[in-house]
Amino acid sequence: MIAADTTTVICTAWKPFERNTLRGFADLWLRTARLNIKGCAVHEKNGRRWVQLPARPQLDKDRNLVRDDAAKVFLEKMPSTAELMPKREFQEVNALLDGNSGSSP
């Protein structure tokens, strides 16, 4: 008997981009929710990894960028999760960062 694939998050695209904790951007397919999330930032620091969901610039009522005192643009979080997904859910992203191609492009 063949075991069913239990992977619930699949990395469909990967773009390496290293700057500070940022390691790159991933497009993720959440199989059980049938949701494709493009442009997730993947970070790593002190041996810990996390995925940041996409955000967009915050606009004021006149559609101008909202900035803080240091001229940094405020970002609106797009979707959010109630809790962090277990590390195993991001096994393909972890494989990419570990230098293995896995089943991802």
Query: Which residues on adjacent β-strands are paired with residue 24?
Result: 16, 42
* Stronger pLDDT, 77 or 49, i.e. the higher one: 49
pLDDT at 31 over 60: yes
Q: What pTM was estimated for this model as a whole? A: 0.63
**DSSP secondary structure letters along 18-35:** EETTEEEEEEEEETTTTE
Tokens of residue 12, six digits = 């469909």
pLDDT in tens, 53-70: 888 888 999 999 999 899
Average pLDDT, the chain: 79
Distance CA 18, CA 104 (A): 19
Mean pLDDT to the nearest integer, 2-11: 68
pLDDT at 85 over 70: no
Name which of 19, 58, 24 is nearest 41 in CA terms: 24
Mean pLDDT to the nearest integer, 10-39: 90
Give the model's pLDDT for residue 100: 57
Residue 20 CB burial class (10 angstroms; 0-12, 13-18, ≥19): exposed
Residue with tokens 């619930």: 8
Tokens of residue 70, six digits = 């240091």
pLDDT at 27 over 60: yes
**Vertex 86: Cα angle to 7 and 48 (nearest 5):** 120
Distance CA 95, CA 101 (A): 6
